[in-house]
Structure 1
Amino acid sequence: MDDSFDLYPEEIKECKEALMNNDTAAAAAKIHKYLENEDNIPLNIAVTGECGSGKSTFVNAIRGIKNSDDGAAPTGCVETTIDVTPYPHPNFPKVTFWDLPGIGTTRFPADQYMEHVKFERFDFFIIISADRFRENDVKLAQEIQKMKKKFYFVRSKIDHNIQDEKRIKNFNEEMTLKRIRDDCIQGLQQQGIEAPQVFLVSSFELHLYDFSLLHETLERELPAHKRNALLFTMPNISREIINKKKKAFQANIKYHAVLSAIVAGVPVPGLSTTVDLGIMATVINKYVLGFGLDKLSLQRLADSTGVPYENLHAVIKSPLALEKINVDLLLKVISQITSSGVLMAAEEGSKFLPLFGIVAAMALSFTATYKTLSFFLNSLAEDAQRVLEKSLGLETSV
């Protein structure tokens, strides 16, 4: 049984009990509540570091926007963060990255700093440095540790270091990265941090170095019900990220299909089709946003990679990518998918048959919704992979 059953076990259990008691209205309400909760899980990530460490650039990069975009965290060579500032993800606003003032630039010593920034609201802390981690970084980590919160050290601007080191004779990138990482770890250990987790990152090239490892670590150490909230905000920097998003979306299709089946049991002409289309339009919009296949996200990707928007657009095949999905558009596209269209039509007709008509309609509705959502999820995931490969200058594999 997958993790999705473990997020809100009481709601799933109550839904099953309601279905066994033929209380379809209660079952539908429980599923709706479960799905609504899924969409409203907050995740608050604190990002801090000393002046010039690159924390604001990191906040922008992980949100998929440039430093010059509207809504970007301000950057500069002087301290630009003077207070705790929230930056919601543009597509998933329940996930917020908080740009914190550097502990060495505030009026508060480390022990008061945690109270000043209201540490209890954050799920974890990312402490950023552009070179060695300083005494203030260590003090902050120790205070976070006292509060029993997770923290991670990010060594930023690694791309600058690599460029500088390339001038040296017999340059070896792997050895250079190991030396920088070991130096950071040893420095932190000497200052009293046991087993520090250090990740080497370039905010301008997230697909390189340790960003994927950072995401995997965060995902592993977050509570289960918050993992998808983090996952869907991650830039598509690898095939693994795209596949994880697809798997997470796939896990919830059964709930949408059950909700569709319950509605199909109501013998009102046209009701089931109308509700089904509404459900699917909402869900597919989430797929488009989660895979970064909306127009704004694609333009941001084009700007950040230097690959023309038209070139990225050209590899997209799904008719629902780059669109704001509504019922009319979805119905038009579904009508061109023979199996889904036939199933939905058969469902409407079958519910008025004597004896087993309602049961047949519910089964057909479940199948139609499940197959349709799976079809569009697969096609959008493939588009996301093609866009990733195009952005990285790779040969398309799908």
Structure 2
Amino acid sequence: MKEDFLHYLWKYKKWNTFDLQTTNGEAISIIQTGQYLQQAGPDFFNAQIVIGNQKWAGNVEIHLKSSDWYVHHHEKDTAYENVILHVVWEHDTEVFRKNNSEIPVLELKNFVDKAVLNNYEQLIVPKSWIFCEKKLKDVDDFLLKNWQERLFFERLERKSKAIYELLAQTNNDWEAVLFCMLSKNFGLNTNGEVFLKIAQSIPFDIIRKESFEVENLEALLLGKAGLLDGDKEDNYFKDLKFRYFYLLHKYQLESKSEGQVQFFKHRPDNFPNIRLSQLAHLYHLHQNLFSKINTILKLEKVYELFQLSTSAYWETHYQFDKESPKKSKRLSKSFVDLLLINTIIPVQFAYAKSLGKEMTEDLVAMQAEVSPEKNTIIEKFESFGLKAANAFETQSLLQLKNEYCAGGRCLDCAIGTALLKNA
């Protein structure tokens, strides 16, 4: 048994109220269980309880055993001086305040119905993947939709933390933040961190100034990626390398690369040089990209904005010095979807929040138009009867698995608590 189960029992009053009494035999009447704030200090604040003939207002602390009070050193913490009731599963020792008065104890195991216990035990028995996998298909659709929306915005809040950190580093320049976020996501999982470092190593004012010559942007990005190191016979390579060192001198930038980009296991269209060329073209075509993106609320407008390719050279090359059959390497719809999920919508959300604006319905509507993501987590949920219809639902399911299921937080989850309530 875990302590969070006792929190659940107390919060939702899942006990038999008849003849409720302390371990000393005093009658207990619960008027208010208190606020479950999940922060430092007692578990429930501002509870109201009648013990015997005395009404008390104060805090409630919950433990598996009474002796946990001393294990956690609460006797030394003044935050616990206002505890009016100690709720435990098993009472094994008395607990006293500093004035030597004994804190009343409610031993819950004597008042919880066996059906509730059985249902909890079934929920937490390890399964092949997650605890509730066999019951997922039975979850009420209305509850699920509401929980998915909460999960979706929790995930956006998490993504916003990185955005606000970048905002602090760039003197509140949202255009620079967008450039960093897009750079990271152009690099995908393998090269994302290196691409982010590249973006951070080039002051965005330089990107602004050089955006009118796409070759200069490409030279900066490829150079910082270490892709212009060494010597080659290729004329385009020589031109980019000349531009790169000229720009380093012009802006007094360091010449070192920002890390080793990876080609291994990438399809050729995802090679880092191809993605960096596309990124250069994006900022060549759109000098005020953040201003444009921030006003977009229609999916087709996003696709229009990201209709771009590489420089002409890369249409016949995947690597320097090695010519290949001509192919226009445009951003695919699926790639733009990833940018929308991981950059555009999070940046829109963070910016609106910074201004105190509400745009939740617009973001949900746009995300719901995007095709569902494909990965092992989403496939697993589908195998247990929870099929995602769009990216709004897949993002919600990823948040559910990573932040709740993986940590066994069933009792913080709307699905888990619903399954317990329906016992």
Same fold (TM over 0.5): no
Kindly name which structure, 1 or 2, has the bigger radius of gyration based on alpha carbons: 2
Q: Per the shorter chain, which TM-score range?
A: under 0.3
TM-score, scaled relative to structure 1: 0.24
Compare the two structures and name the one with the higher helix fraction: 1
TM-score of the superposition, structure 2-length normalised?
0.23
